[in-house]
């Protein structure tokens, strides 16, 4: 990950929540580690809410410091990191202000990275303004989700950005792809002969992918009520994780080889017939409840949310992939807010043995499984059956842990840190290509359209639970259950 390449990292939305919580802390960790960022590399923050660099540094000290270095801030490293930061005050609604940015960047060596930590409505105006002052050459641009509201609006943004930046300059970020266990999933599959022969329909019974949140919509009610869980999480994060799990071995780990295989998975997703949506898709909305002893309000009473809102805060889907490797294997996707725990995980349930001389427990589905935990603690566990100590042949479930901290002295790299370094170094493999994004929207749209046309409200669930009962019933129809229900 080390680089000698000089760069200028321009951060639009420099005072925003994403910049404070994720982007600047990730850049600080790369800076603190030493050697990951070129000494000559600079960070140029762009915003209009503060007056000058001194005021911006005060803002960073107040809002970024709480999110960096879990074991305390190294003040020497922090001071040298602040030396990297410059500031340009710009009104993004005034294209003429971009001459100030052009002048600030004039004569700087190396690549320019433009990170758009703004609302998607500003993506196209920012790109046009950058091109008007000649800043679209020798540069890379990072686009945060959501990229559009549907396929049409997504294509409109991509068309407009694509007129100014070539596809190899565009980095559509999905931070789940930067998580260490996702990288290790690729390593396990394609670096070891042990798993690859089993990674197919003959040996896999089902796969679950869950991204669950304890938090509600917080201060994002206005945004979320016009978006919903299907757009916010399924179209990007969950389908990207699905494509990583199900992809064929790529020719190499270069950007297009990996993304070609992911695209093949997305194009092989079985289209959902609108008449079957009630059987394979569950949408829910949280009502008032209790999480960890604290009462929380219903979604419809959150600030910025319409009292009669039918926006979903929970989605569970049964997905099928129509190819030779995965035909007939159900993939169950689930995401929601105000659920019982904050967890993101991939569960691969292997089939039971065809005949057991050791008793019925060896025939139970899920006795052998692989659990890739993405958050909160990143681990990979392989579950199998072993004999319990003592008399008789009694079996119990045990697990083998891939504990990164025991094998590797280096600390795990946060997802944003890895992805920002990839942008600076020009590595595209972990970023979403336009045709991937289009394929995901094309598959999701029939569900969106059917829900929009339906008069049925989302199914209610109490905050602090695992969502509507219908999500469990959907799995029960296939003789299985969500992982936490089994435990």
Same domain, 137 and 181: no
Q: Is 232 annotated as a binding residue?
A: yes
pLDDT greater than 60 at residue 188: yes
Q: Residue 4: pLDDT above 60?
A: no
Residues 281-315: tens digit of each pLDDT: 999 999 999 999 999 999 999 999 999 999 999 99
Residue 2 has pLDDT above 60, yes or no: no
Q: Which of 169, 319, 170, 167 is nearest to 241 (CA)?
A: 319
> In the prediction, which pLDDT does 411 show?
67
**How high is the pLDDT of residue 1?**
43
pLDDT, one tens digit per residue, over 134-185 is 999 999 999 988 788 899 999 999 999 999 999 999 999 999 999 888 888 8
Domain contains 425: no
Domain hosting 42: range is: 7-144
Going from the C-alpha of 341 to that of each of 190, 233, 314, 347, the distances in angstroms are 31, 17, 14, 16
- Which of the two residues, 218 and 265, has the higher pLDDT score? 265
Predicted confidence (pLDDT) per residue in 457-473, tens digit? 999 999 999 999 999 99
Domain boundary among 119, 144, 169: 144
The verdict on residue 199 lying in a domain is yes
- Whether residue 385 is predicted with pLDDT greater than 90 in this model: the reply is no
Q: Is 91 annotated as a binding residue?
A: yes
Shared-domain flag, residues 294 and 250: yes
Q: Is 31 part of the annotated catalytic residue set? A: no
Total-model pTM? 0.92
CA distances from 450 to 138, 174, 274 (A): 44, 27, 6
Q: Confirm whether 253 is domain-assigned.
A: yes
Percentage, residues of the chain above pLDDT 70:
95
Give pLDDT, residue 364: 63
What average pLDDT score do residues 320-347 get?
97
Spatial CA neighbour of 135 closest among 5, 10, 3, 23: 10
The answer to whether 381 is a known ligand-binding residue is no
Q: Which positions ≥6 away from 331 have C-beta within 8 Å?
A: 206, 207, 208, 209, 242, 245, 246, 318, 319, 320, 321
Q: How far apart are CA 339 and CA 153, in angstroms?
A: 30
Three-state SS for 9?
A: strand
Instruction: Catalytic residue, from 31, 67, 128, 237: name it.
Output: 237
What are the beta bridge partners of residue 87? 45
The CATH number assigned to the domain holding 50 equals 3.40.50.720
């Amino acid at each position: 990950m080390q680089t000698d390449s000089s760069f200028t990292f321009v951060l639009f939305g420099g005072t925003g929540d994403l910049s404070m919580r994720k982007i600047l802390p990730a850049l600080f960790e790369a800076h603190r580690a030493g050697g990951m960022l070129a000494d000559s590399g600079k960070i140029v923050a762009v915003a209009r809410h503060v007056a000058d660099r001194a005021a911006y540094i005060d803002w960073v000290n107040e809002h970024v410091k709480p999110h960096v270095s879990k074991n305390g801030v190294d003040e020497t490293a922090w001071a040298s990191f602040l030396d990297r930061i410059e500031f340009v005050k710009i009104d993004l609604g005034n294209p003429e202000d971009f001459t100030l940015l052009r002048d600030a960047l004039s004569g700087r060596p190396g690549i320019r990275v433009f990170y758009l930590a703004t609302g998607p409505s500003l993506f196209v105006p920012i790109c046009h303004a950058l091109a008007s002052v000649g800043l679209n050459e020798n540069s890379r641009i990072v686009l945060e989700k959501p990229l559009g509201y549907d396929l049409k609006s997504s294509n409109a943004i991509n068309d407009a950005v694509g007129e100014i930046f070539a596809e190899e300059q565009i980095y559509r970020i999905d931070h789940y792809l930067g998580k260490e266990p996702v990288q290790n999933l690729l390593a396990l599959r394609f670096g070891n002969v042990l798993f690859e022969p089993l990674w197919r329909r003959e040996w896999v019974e089902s796969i679950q992918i869950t991204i669950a949140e304890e938090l509600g919509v917080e201060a994002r009610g206005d945004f979320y009520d016009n978006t919903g869980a299907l757009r916010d999480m399924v179209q990007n994060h969950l389908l990207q994780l699905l494509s990583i799990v199900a992809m064929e071995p790529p020719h190499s780990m270069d950007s297009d080889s990996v993304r070609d295989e992911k695209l093949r998975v997305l194009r092989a997703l079985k289209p959902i017939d609108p008449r079957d949506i009630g059987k394979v898709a569950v949408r829910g909305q949280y009502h008032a409840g209790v999480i960890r002893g604290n009462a929380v309000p219903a979604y419809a009473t959150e600030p910025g949310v319409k009292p009669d809102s039918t926006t979903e805060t929970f989605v569970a889907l049964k997905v099928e992939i129509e190819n030779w490797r995965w035909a007939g294997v159900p993939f169950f996707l689930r995401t929601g807010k105000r659920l019982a725990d904050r967890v993101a995980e991939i569960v691969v349930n292997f089939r039971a043995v065809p005949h057991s001389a050791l008793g019925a427990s060896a025939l139970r589905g899920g006795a052998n499984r692989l659990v890739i935990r993405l958050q909160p603690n990143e681990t990979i566990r392989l579950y199998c059956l072993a004999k319990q100590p003592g008399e008789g042949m009694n079996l119990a479930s045990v697990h083998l842990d891939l504990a990164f901290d025991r094998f590797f002295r280096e600390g795990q790299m946060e997802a944003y840190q890895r992805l920002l370094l990839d942008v600076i170094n020009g590595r595209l493999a972990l970023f979403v290509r336009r045709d991937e994004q289009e394929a995901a929207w094309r598959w999701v749209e029939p569900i969106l359209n059917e829900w929009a046309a339906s008069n049925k409200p989302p199914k209610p669930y109490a905050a602090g639970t695992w969502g509507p009962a219908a999500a469990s019933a959907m799995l029960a129809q296939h003789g299985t259950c969500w992982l936490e229900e089994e435990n």
